[in-house]
Amino acid sequence: MTTTLPASDAPNRSLAERRTIDYIPDDERHGRPVGQFTLWLGANLQITAIVTGALAVVLGGDVFWSLVGLALGQILGGAVMALHGAQGPRLGLPQMISSRVQFGVLGATLPLVLVCLMYIGFSAGGTVLAGQAVAQLSGLSPTAGVLIFAALVMVSAILGYRLIHGLGRLMSVVGVAAFVYLFSRLLAEHDVGALLAIRHFTVADFLLAMSLSASWQIAYGPYVADYSRYLPRRTSSLRTFWAVWLGSVIGSQASMTFGVFAAALAGHAFAGHEVAFVVGLGGSGAAAAWLYFTIALGKLTATTLNAYGCVMSVATISTGLAGRRSLSATLRTACIAGMLAIVVWLALAGQHAFLKAFSSFILFLLAFFTPWSAINLVDYYCVTKERYDIPALYDPNGRYGRFNVVGLVVYAIGVLVQMPFIATGFYTGPLADKLGGADISWIVGLVVPAVLYYVAVRGNRAHVPDRLILPGEASGAGTGGWVPEPVTGTERQSR
């Protein structure tokens, strides 16, 4: 049973969000799939995606085949990411808590800890670039720019879901305008056709480009449903999938395409001067200020996603260990502040060589997310077929138990089989060397655990209920018929 609120007091009209990992009741659902498109379009029209695309050329590829490889990687990796996003409206839960079905209430802690490290690492790298843009806009030092940017991220992450989608809508408009302008300048002032005419196909460079974009998309998997879980429960899963997929693929491919051309034109001058080079292509004066603002806004959108997703993961870890079902507003704010303190420290310490090394370590961590993604998707779409016992996700003694040995073993195997194929500055496997340094670990990490998990659980589906069990419904699995806590009048005023 849920509390129905008057329309004037409905929680979804408030800018600040109160819920964390608890189920979103029907009377708090709102939005349409188009909001997913603008969010992921805006989140990918950003400087880090430009730099990622540039790596395809910096590391040896030509322009034409780099663009083709990047596009193919976007399509495949984006499909994996969007399949996760389509779970949000149906379950009404943030992404990582559903891992308790496959790994157990406590067993899900392992991938969650690694996800938090990824959020922190990506945020640190993005904060360095955003700090440069803020510094140029404000006339302050890069250190001050980093601190100002971190403060903006903290406010945005605390306000939560509705503001994040607002940032996505704003960035989708500003970002599209900025990229149209940049591409027009690029085409007007440089012979792009000559760059496209130079074609030297190699398998290694092509696979590298594919891996860069596919890994970029797959990295969104652990939190994409966080931003679709408020959609009405009857929202079409197919419409949600296409909205997420199109927004993320179009946005990231546009950014990476620009990065490819920028790196090809600039050569060695691009690395280490990414923000200045991109802005320089657009001109000076008011145009430069607008581009610096666009870069800062793009990173604000993306880094807020990371901070918010980190809170969801920390809440899932802490509630699982403490036997709670939600996180208080105070603890939520403390989590955001703690995460951003680490991010700022890493950003300030890593503005030079350290950040490059740390980024390689973060890319290495991606090997731990592809098996999680494969297991989660196979279980949701092929084994349970959306039939989750949501109250049991919060009960270590319930249907899913503390640890799911099968899921954890398959996950470990999925990580280990990738090691020979990984190619990063932090670690390179022996088979990656034979492939010319191409990293295809993400392919192995998706296929092997997906097959193993399906084979392992297809004959034993005792944990699968006969329907999707929502809070307040009897499950017969010792869940206690948990009901999501209502939003009181006092809480509405405090928000």
- Report how many domains make up the chain: 1
Instruction: Tell whether 8 is covered by a domain.
Output: no
DSSP 3-state of 389? strand
Residue 145 has pLDDT above 70, yes or no: yes
Residues 85-127: tens digit of each pLDDT: 999 999 999 988 999 999 999 999 888 888 888 888 888 888 8
Predicted local distance difference test score (pLDDT) of residue 422:
87
List Cβ neighbours of 319 (8 Å cut-off, separation of 6 or more): 21, 325, 326, 327, 394
Q: What is each CA distance from 261 to 183, 194, 436, 469, 476, in whole angstroms?
A: 10, 11, 23, 51, 59
CATH number at residue 34: 1.10.4160.10
- Find the domain containing 455 and state its range: 25-494
Predicted confidence band of residue 481 (pLDDT cuts 50, 70, 90): very low
Q: Taking residues 294-314, what's their average pLDDT?
A: 90
Instruction: Tell whether 3 is covered by a domain.
Output: no
Predicted confidence band of residue 349 (pLDDT cuts 50, 70, 90): confident
Question: Among 412, 312, 389, which residue's Cα sits nearest to residue 107?
Answer: 412
Instruction: Tell whether 403 is covered by a domain.
Output: yes
Predicted local distance difference test score (pLDDT) of residue 213:
92
| Residue 396, both tokens | 């270590």
Distance CA 231, CA 239 (A): 11
Instruction: Tell whether 9 is covered by a domain.
Output: no
Predicted local distance difference test score (pLDDT) of residue 265:
84
The percentage of residues in the chain with a pLDDT greater than 90, rounded to a whole number, is 46
Instruction: Tell whether 109 is covered by a domain.
Output: yes
Distance CA 205, CA 438 (A): 7
* pTM of the predicted model as reported, rounded to 2 decimal places: 0.88
Residue 422 and residue 428 in contact, taking contact as beta carbons nearer than 8 Å:
yes
Q: State the DSSP code for 484.
A: P
**What is the chain's mean pLDDT, rounded?**
85
Q: What SS3 string covers 91-107?
A: HCCCCHHHHHHHHCCCC
Predicted confidence band of residue 351 (pLDDT cuts 50, 70, 90): low
Q: Taking residues 304-308, what's their average pLDDT?
A: 91
Residues 384-420: tens digit of each pLDDT: 999 999 999 988 888 899 999 999 999 999 999 999 9
Instruction: Tell whether 470 is covered by a domain.
Output: yes
Element (H, E) at 207: helix 203-218
Residue 394 and residue 319 in contact, taking contact as beta carbons nearer than 8 Å:
yes
Residues in the chain: 495
Instruction: Tell whether 12 is covered by a domain.
Output: no
Instruction: Tell whether 96 is covered by a domain.
Output: yes
